[in-house]
Amino acid sequence: MSNCTRLGETDENLLNASKSGANFENFTQILDIAVQKTDSFKVDKVAICLGTNDISKHKDDSDQINLLVTKAVAQVKSAYPESHVGLCSIIPRKGNSAQINRLNQSATNVNKFIRKLCAREDNVDYVDLEKLFYKNGTIIRSMFDKADNSGVHINTEGAQNINRKLDDFFHSPKLCVQELHTPMDPKRKRSDGTTTPTSADRMSKRSNTEPKKA
C-alpha cells in the first residue's frame, strides 16, 4: 500500500517491495517482484503489511478479506519456506464520519482474525500496527497527512512509528521451543524441552548466502 512506500528502506539489509494502491488481491504480483529481487539472498524474515485498500473495496465483507489474508500467508510461506513471517494488522483511518467509522470497524474485525491466524500458524508473528494509532480509544490524528481528506495516508510521524515496530520484528531473535521425547522412568517427569534462540546477527548484501529481510 502507499503508506508502506513512505517507509523507504532504512536498513541496507531490508527490501521494501511495497507498491502504491496494492491490496491482497494483487498480492501475487507483489510477491513475485520481491522473490525476483531477493533471488540471490537467503531471506530471514518477511513482513506482510496490507489491507487498507482491501477495506475500501470490500467494506463490510471481512470474510472475503480474511480469505485473502490467509492465502497471502500461505504464498509467502511457500516462496520463503525457511523464513519467519510478520503479519501486520490494518491501521485505522483518520476521521469521524459514519463511513470512516464503518471502515475502521471492518479493519478491527479483520485484525481480530489476523491475530488468531498468527496464533495458529507456525513461524508467523502478529505485528500490531493498529494500536500505534490509538490513544485511550481515540485515533491519533497527528500521525496522518493533514492534506489527505480521505484519512488514509500517514505522515512522517506515522511512518516513523511503523518503522520502529517493523524494526522490532526484523531484529528480534525468535525462540524455538522443542519438547524432548526420550525414554524415561515412569516416576520421572518429562523434560519441558530446550529453548534456543536463532541468529539475529546483522548481515551484508555482499554475500549471496547471507540472510535478507523482505
> 127: burial class by Cβ within 10 Å (0-12, 13-18, 19+)?
buried
Query: pLDDT value at position 14?
Result: 86
Q: Decide: 212 and 36 in contact? Cβ < 8 Å.
A: no
Cα distances (angstroms) measured from residue 137 to each of 45, 119, 133, 207: 31, 24, 9, 46
What does the pLDDT look like over 105-121, one tens digit per residue? 999 999 999 999 999 99
**186-204 per-position pLDDT tens digit:** 444 444 444 443 333 333 3
Q: Which residues of 53-64 are buried (b: 16+ CB within 10 A; e: fewer)?
A: bbbeebeeebeb
122: amino acid identity, one letter: D
Query: What is the pLDDT, as a whole number, of residue 126?
Result: 98
State the pLDDT at residue 201. Answer: 36
pLDDT digits (tens, 9 = 90+) for 16-73: 888 878 888 889 999 999 999 998 789 999 999 988 889 988 887 899 999 999 999 9
From the number of C-beta atoms within 10 Å of its C-beta (0-12, 13-18, 19+), residue 11 rates as middle
Q: What is the pTM of this model?
A: 0.76
- Tens digit of pLDDT for each residue in 132-166? 999 999 999 999 999 998 899 999 999 999 999 99
Residue type, 149: N
- Ordered by start, the domain boundaries in the chain are 2-174+203-213
Residue 100 has pLDDT above 80, yes or no: yes
189 HSE (CA, 13 A, CB side): 3
Q: What is the pLDDT of residue 93?
A: 95
CATH superfamily of 2-174+203-213: SGNH hydrolase (3.40.50.1110)
Return mean pLDDT, the chain: 81
CA distance 5 to 214: 13
Going through the chain in order, the beta strands assigned E by DSSP cover 42-48, 84-88, 124-127, 134-135, 138-139, 175-178, 194-197, 211-213
Using DSSP, state whether 178 is helix, strand or coil: strand
